[in-house]
């Protein structure tokens, strides 16, 4: 088996006020496309999707991990949570000569606080885990080679996903914002049953 268990924490600055930032990241179907190495393979609703993480390791071995995810927004605390969906049938594990596929579990939390200017500081944490069958081409390989693949995914790819996600999301933000109405925040809050935006928690140390 190849055991994967990766986690990371990052702090990012985002060029919008906390409420607009919260709205921008509040739809999983839209923002998931900004995750490097990850594609949406099935959409259950705007905030429930099946994703596939896929990467090629050692230049030869294709690793595919499927996860069913659900996004929830905590408006009062300016937080966004992504967690495994319940009731989904896991993808069965399968290995070929130079590929392996299976099911995994992904969790992330993003907490938003006001920055010194009109922007937002994002504290972003995520972790995932999966157990995959070894590709047949790796079954006779030394354990250190298998560990190298697991380490590459658990640490290196996790960092690429986190950093690339924020870079891609920030780059796409201006085009998204240009398509929104001037009443974006009030309309969004009204649709959720919130008439007034809660005050964002002050930045630590302020």
Q: What is the pTM of this model?
A: 0.84
Asked whether residue 198 carries a pLDDT value surpassing 60, the answer given is no
d(CA 159, CA 163): 6
d(CA 119, CA 204): 15
Q: Which of 189, 205, 197, 178 is nearest to 11 (CA)?
A: 205
Convert the pLDDT of each residue in 98-137 to its tens digit: 899 999 998 999 999 999 888 999 999 988 899 999 888 8
d(CA 112, CA 77): 8
Q: Which of 11, 43, 55, 15 is nearest to 172 (CA)?
A: 15
Compute the residue count for the chain: 206
Q: Considering the domain 2-191 in this protein, what is its CATH number?
A: 3.30.530.20
pLDDT of residue 152: 73
Confidence band, pLDDT 50/70/90 cuts, at residue 197: low
Confidence band, pLDDT 50/70/90 cuts, at residue 145: confident
Give the SS3 label for residue 147.
helix
């Amino acid at each position: 088996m190849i055991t994967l268990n990766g986690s990371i924490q990052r702090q990012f600055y985002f060029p919008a006020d906390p409420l607009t930032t919260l709205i921008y990241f509040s739809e999983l179907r839209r923002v998931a496309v900004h995750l490097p190495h990850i594609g949406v393979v099935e959409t259950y609703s705007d905030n429930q999707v099946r994703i596939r993480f896929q990467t090629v390791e050692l230049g030869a071995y294709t690793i595919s991990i499927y996860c069913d995810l659900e996004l929830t927004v905590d408006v009062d605390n300016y937080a966004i949570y992504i967690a495994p969906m319940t009731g989904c049938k896991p993808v069965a594990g399968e290995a070929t000569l130079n590929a392996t596929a299976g099911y995994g579990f992904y969790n992330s939390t993003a907490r938003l606080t006001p920055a010194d200017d009109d922007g937002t500081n994002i504290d972003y944490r995520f972790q995932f885990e999966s157990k995959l069958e070894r590709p047949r081409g790796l079954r006779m390989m030394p354990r250190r080679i298998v560990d190298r693949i697991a380490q590459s995914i658990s640490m290196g790819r996790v960092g690429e996903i986190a950093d690339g996600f924020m870079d891609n999301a920030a780059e796409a933000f201006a085009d998204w914002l240009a398509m929104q109405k001037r009443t974006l925040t009030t309309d969004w809050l009204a649709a959720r049953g919130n008439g007034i935006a809660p005050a964002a928690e002050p930045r630590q140390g302020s």
